[in-house]
Structure 1
C-alpha cells in the first residue's frame, strides 16, 4: 500500500481546538453527529467505508422499518435540510431502508455543509493517541487522536480533537453457535449460510425459491426474513421454511396490542399466524453446537431439551443479532460492560438479562463516556450486543455528545428522549421499563 499524505502533527498545530472531530461512519447517526457539529460551527471529517452515504442501510434497503418518519429524522439534520428546501416525508408513514436513504440520508449528505466533509471508500483501521499507546497516561487528555484509515490508494492518518465512532454493527453479526462462537464446521458452509436480512423477494429470490430455508434467531431480523419467505412460498412450489430458536419462546418478536409502534406489533401477529397455520415450522430450544455439509444442504447438530438433535435444511439464514467490532479500538481506553459490551453506564439500561423492551431511559454524553477522554461510541454500536436500539436514541446521543465537545455543559446534560412504548417486557428477573 501507498502511504497517503498525513495531517500536520500536533506540535505544529495551534492546539486541539484547531483539529477536526472525526466521525466514523456516514449512516443516519454518523450524519446526525456531523449535522450537530456543523450547526455549532465545529470542524468535522466523516470517514465512511462504503462508496455512498448509509451504505449499510442500503444493504437491507428492502426491509420496511417499524418506526415512522417522525422518529427517523434527527432535529439538527432537519434544520439543515429545511434550509435547502427539503420536503419532509409524512410523519406517520414507515419507510423502507432504501427510502430512508433516498429521501433523507442521501439528501443530507449532499448538502453543501456536509458534502465536502465526507470521505467515502475510507475504512478506519485504528484509533490511538498521537505518539502514545494505551499504557501511557501523562498528558493523554491534551494529546490529539490519530485515526488511521485505508483506501484504494493506500494508508493514511488524520489527527483529531475528538472521535465519535458511529460505525454500527451490520458487518459483525453474531455467530450461530449458542456459545457465542462459530459452530464447528461453519467455515465450510460457504454460500449455504446467508448474512442476516437477505433480499428474499428481490435480488436473492432465485437462491431461496423452491428450497428449504432455516432461519436462526429470535428477533425482528429473523421475523422479517421469515415473512418474506412465506410470501415467496405462495408462488414458488417447494419453498419450505423453518424457524429455529435457542430459547423456548421468541419474546423479542411481540404481537402486543400495547406496542405503540403498530408495524412492529403487526410483525409479531403475522408471524404467529403463519406458525399456527403450519406455513412456518417452528423448532424451539435448539442449541447449535456444530454444522456439516449434508448432500446439497446443511445439517445442524446440537442439543434440544437435554438430548442430541439434528436438523437438516438446504440453506441457513443467521439472524442471531449483531455485536460491535472493537478491533480498531485496541489502543483506546474503553469502559465497556462485561456482559453486553456497551459503555458501563449505559449497559444497565439496555441489558436484555434485565429487560427486553425497546424503551430506554434518556442518556447522553455521561452514560457514553469512556476512560479515553474525548472518545465516544454512539448509535447501534453503543448498544454492544443489546438488540433494542432505535434511531431516535442515537440522535439524542450525538446531540448531547456534540454539546459536550463544544463545551456547552448545559445543553449536554439536558437530555430528553421520548420513545414509543414497546408493549414487550419479558424477564425472569423482575426488571422492566
Structure 2
C-alpha cells in the first residue's frame, strides 16, 4: 500500500478512557480520522470500576483542552475547576459526553486481540515500514474483525492486570486458592454486600501507595460504625519520613491529605503497621488466612486481604510489534529513566512526548498509564500532553510534536532518591489511580468519596 493510501486510513486508539478519548480529540482537531476501540459497553469502563474513589486532582487538571473544544458547541458545561471529582463524576460528566460527541468514532464491545504489520510478522524486515497496521478485534456477540490502520495508539491502561501479593512479583503460595477472600481493588463500602465483607473483621492491606492509603481511610471510617473492624497494614519496607507522602507540603493538597488520613488511621488504632514483611505464602487456619513472610514471620489470622501493590501492562496482544521496552519497568526505553520510581514521583517527571514514546516499530505508541509500565503515580495531565505530542507527530507536525509544555506539581517529599528511596519498596500506585485508575489512566487511585485520591 502506498503512503497516500495509508494516510487515508484511520488511527486506531485502543481504550476509551481519559487518555484514549483525549487522543481521539486531538486527532479530530488535526483532521485525522480516529477509531477508538473499547472493550466495555460504554466509555471509561475502568474508571467506572472505581467510581467511588475521589481523584486528588481537581476538575481543572483532568480535562483535556482539545476535548473541551469538541464539547463546547454541544452546550456542555465545564464543572467547577476547583472541585475534586470522583471516578463516577469523571465518567458521567466528562468522559461519556466526550465519547458521545465522537459518535461512531468510538466502538464499544471491541476487544483488541492482536496488532501487527499487514502481511508481516515480527521477524520480517522486508517492506515492513511501508505496510499499514492490522488490528485484530473480537466483537461482543458478533465474531471477529480485522481493521487496517495508519497508526496505533495504545491507551488501554494497566487496570486489568493488578500485581499479586507475592514479594517476588509472582502470586504467593496459596494466593490463588484463597481468591474468595482476596481483593485487588479499593473496596466500595457504600455497597451493603461489600460493607458486610469487612465490617467487624480484621483485614490485611498490602501496599504503600495512594490506593493503600485510601483503603486504610475507608476501613478507619468503617471502624467508627462497626466495632472490631481493624486493618493490618503490610509494608515491605520500614516506615520513613516519606511513608505517608508529602502531607501539607504536597502541591496537590488532596493527595497530601490522603496520606495524613492514613497516618491518622494508624495513630488512632484503626490500623496497625507491619513493616519489612514480604509475603511468601497464604495459609488457611480454619476460617482465617495467615500470611507468611519470607523471613518466616506469620501474621495473626485475618478474614480478608486487600492487595494494592500496583498494576502491570498487558503486552500480550502486541507480541508481533517491535517494541523498545525497559527490562525493569516495561516502559518505553527512552521514557523509563524519567519515571523510575526509585528516583521520581509524578511531580518530578520531566515533561515528555513523542521522542520518549517512540518504538523501533514506527507508528505505534503506548500512552497514558500503559506508557509507564510498572511505574506508579501517573497524572492525567501527563497523558494529555503525551497524546498532544504523538498526534502532532502522526500529522507530520514535528515542531509541535517536539514542543513539550507541561508543569507538574511536586509531592513535597522528593529529594535525593525521591519518593521511593528504597529500591525494594512496594511501589503500589492509580488506576485506578495522579488521575486513575486505574484505569486505564492510573489515577493513583486514591480515596473514597469522603476523601481524596487519584492524581
Q: TM-score, normalised by structure 1?
A: 0.93
Paired residue for 1:343? 332
Mark the CA change 1:359 to 1:316 in structure 2 (over 3 Å): closer, same or farther: same
Corresponding residue for residue 386 of structure 2: 397
1:58 alignment partner, SS class: helix
Question: Structure 1 residues 180-189 or 199-208, which shifts more?
Answer: 199-208
Q: Give runs of aligned pairs for residues 183-222 of structure 1, distance below 5 A.
A: 183-202=172-191, 204-222=194-212
In structure 1, what is the Cα distance between the partners aligned to 2:416 and 2:135?
Answer: 41
Q: Determine the structure 2 residue equivalent to 1:277.
A: 268
- Aligned with 2:359 (options 370, 378, 389): 370
1:214-239 deviations in whole A, cap 9, x for unaligned? 11000001111111111111112221
Deviation at 1:140, TM superposition (A): 1.1
Structure 1, residues 302-353: CA drift from partner, whole Å, max 9, x if none?
13xx553334210001100111111111111010111111101111111012
Structure 2 matches for 1:87-236, cutoff 5 A? 87-111=77-101, 114-151=102-139, 152-202=141-191, 204-236=194-226
Say which SS state the counterpart of residue 200 (structure 2) adopts: coil
Aligned 8 A contact 1:209 1:236 in 2: yes
> What is the CA-CA distance between 1:426 and the residue it aligns to?
5.8
Specify which structure has the bigger relative contact order, considering alpha-carbon pairs within 8 angstroms and separated by 6 or more residues: 2
Partner of 1:355: 344
What's the counterpart of residue 5 of structure 1? none
1:17 corresponds, among 7, 30, 34, to 7
Matches within 5 A, 1:321-332: 321-332=310-321
How many angstroms apart in 2 are the aligned matches of 1:104 and 1:346?
A: 29
2:376 matched residue in structure 1: 387
Instruction: Answer whether contact 1:201 1:232 (CA < 8 A) is retained.
Output: no
Aligned length: 418
Match of 1:7?
Answer: none
TM-fit CA distance, 1:257: 2.2
Structure 2 partner of 1:259: 250
Is 1:239 matched up with 2:229? yes
Offset of residue 205 of structure 1: 1.3
Question: 1:22 is paired with a residue of what secondary structure?
Answer: strand
What is the aligned partner in structure 2 of residue 296 from structure 1?
Answer: 287
**How many Å apart are 1:200 and its aligned residue?**
2.4
Shift in Å, 1:197: 1.5
- Counterparts of 1:427 and 1:359, CA distance in 2: 12
State the distance in 1 between where 2:8 and 2:221 align: 55
Q: Counterparts of 1:225 and 1:430 in 2: how far apart (Å)?
A: 20
> Using the alignment, how far apart are the partners of 2:287 and 2:41 within structure 1?
36
What secondary structure does 2:278 align onto?
strand
1:247 Cα shift?
A: 0.9
Classify 1:262/1:369 alpha carbon distance in 2 versus 1 (closer, same or farther; 3 Å): same
2:297: which partner in 1?
Answer: 308
Whole-angstrom CA distance in 2 between matches of 1:430 and 1:227? 21
| Cα distance in 2 for residues equivalent to 1:316 and 1:401 | 40
Deviations 1:156-211 (A, max 9, x none): 11110000000000110111111000111111112200122221233521221122
Distance of 1:355 and 1:89 partners within structure 2: 31
Which of the numbers 17, 23, 30 marks the counterpart of 1:40? 30
Deviation of the 1:14 alpha carbon: 6.1
Aligned residue number for residue 320 of structure 1: 309
- The answer to whether the 8 A contact 1:355-1:427 is kept is no
How far apart, in 1, do the equivalents of 2:369 and 2:413 lie?
20
Distance 1:296 1:430, change over 3 A: closer
Q: State the Cα distance separating 1:359 from its structure 2 match.
A: 3.0
CA RMSD of aligned residues (A): 1.8
Distance (whole Å) between structure 2 residues aligned to residue 425 and residue 338 of structure 1: 25
Relative distance call for 1:369 and 1:382 in structure 2 (3 A) is: same
Structure 2: tracts of 5 or more residues without a match = 422-455
SS at structure 2 position matched to 1:148: strand
Q: For 2:43 and 2:134, how far apart are their aligned partners in 1? A: 23
Gaps of at least 5 residues in structure 1 are 1-9
